[in-house]
A = this chain, B = another copy of it.
Amino acid sequence: MDIEKKPRRVKRRTYKDERLKQIVKTAAKLFYKNGYAQTTTRQIAEACGISQGNLYYYIKSKEDFFNLFVDMTTSTFEGYDSEIRSQLPRISHTEAMKRRIKEGLRLINAVQDMILFLYRESRIMSPDHLDQVIRQELHIVDLLKTIIEAGCKTGEFGVKDPQLAAYQILMLEHMWSLKRWYLRKHYTLEEYIVKCQEAAVGIVRAREVKKTVKNTAPARKTRK
């Protein structure tokens, strides 16, 4: 009996956690669709098939949904790293970057709602969570930057500011989520991956743009 009881208690505990995860995910879907502020606890409860009161058996406040969700989201990317690092010696830098982009875009495609959500609701996030999100983004930028820097050393790439270039490329990846209403109409994911790779190659190969004196002169009407 003891033998049976113990695993059962463990299972119970797991059950509550499981349920919590499930509830947070359900809430997240509503957040995606309607936004955090516009989603009511009643809606969440209904979507979960439980009473409003029961919700508070799992969480302490509506904010918790947000925080727990961000936690889940960030922990998804936690320790995220590319397998490409290990392949670096064996392939060209261009190739590495392209693979990285393909990988990145597929991930972004998988979590596009989440990304849109982070752009939209970042204002509501606690400073701690915001920090974490930013750190993770910069970490991902770093992966690309490493590749670009390597390529610059061998002369394969010629960009002067690898970090910014990496960030710009990431921006083009996020575009898949931010402008999906447009991109989905014209491209499949695989098609966009190729387009993105092309753009990225262009960016990292960029050489210094020769300053033409004339066109900077009349630019006096600078706005604040």
Contact = CB atoms under 8 A, between A and B. Distances in A.
Interface in A98-131: 98-99, 102, 106-107, 109-110, 119-120, 123-124
A120 B178 CA distance: 10
A69 interface: no
A71 interface: no
A167 B194 contact: no
B161 A195 contact: yes
A175 B175 CA distance: 10
B167 A179 contact: yes
Q: By CB atoms of chain B within 10 A, which of A167, A202, A219 has the most?
A: A202
A20 interface: no
Contacts of A208: 198
Given A98-B209, A120-B120, A195-B161, A168 B178 contact: no
B172 A95 contact: no
Contacts of A171: 171-172, 175, 178-179
A172 B168 contact: yes
A204 interface: yes
A9 to B, nearest CB: 12
Interface in A194-211: 194-195, 197-199, 201-206, 208-209
